[in-house]
Amino acid sequence: MAKRKLVVLSGAGISAESGIQTFRDSDGLWEGYDVRDVATPGAFRKNPALVLEFYNMRRKAALKAKPNAAHYGLADLQQDFDVQIITQNIDNLHEQAGSQHVLHLHGEIFKMRSVADTSRIYDITGDIRLGDLAPDGEQLRPHIVWFEEPVPKIAEAVPLVKEADIFVVVGTSLVVYPAAGLVDFVQPRVPKYVIDKKIPVQEGLGQVTAIEMPATAGVEELKKLLRGM
């Protein structure tokens, strides 16, 4: 018998419990930086060295981070479900915990690419410096989707959401688009669960099971609910 397809949309809240700092719209700052100075194409054109250093620091932080109980809990659900993770996070904590199917909407901190060719992608764990060139002779940049840039992976995510038998949102406030718009593609009768310390109000979600807890405790509760279905 085929396993039911469990699709999870994860956000910064799940990695926060592993010590990775999150961006908050309330103050417009990200680790003390204005996002307009470090996370837009214009910022990279204006001061590429600053942007590269900002992501070098984020890469160092991600290297130190370890998966938490929420990451391991979602990986554990693969025993009973066909689990697909769609994450807004750029770390690799889902993979470290053992999740086998992870789609990164906003890129990956441990990859870099040529500024001229988005298909030229390379692994990296160290720093990217100004003057570090891809084989095509162009400057290397983090393989990250910055604000104001398109999100090409959304085209892969939509059909996955449409196929969900169960849909889970964990650790995201559902305010960053186009990722937040994925909830609109969940089929009407599909059971939906939202896990967050503060459940966002979402008109389009319809009937949901709200688990108002941090991700670690919330995923544990989710496991109990799903395995009792």
Q: Measured in Å, how far apart are the chain's first and last C-alpha atoms?
A: 16
Q: Across the strands, what pairs with 193?
A: 168, 209
Separation between Cα atoms, residue 151 and residue 13, nearest integer Å: 20
Quick one: CA dihedral 166, 97, 145, 210, positive or negative? positive
Beta bridge partners of residue 82, listed in sequence order: 5
199-224 burial: b if 16+ Cβ within 10 Å, else e: beebeebeebeebebbbbbbbbbbee
* Tokens matching residue 223: 């496991």
Active site residues: 106
- Give the residue among 50, 16, 13, 15 at the shortest CA–CA distance from 33: 50
- Upstream peptide bond of 178 is cis (omega within 30 degrees of 0): yes
Helix (H, G, I), strand (E, B) or coil at 69: helix
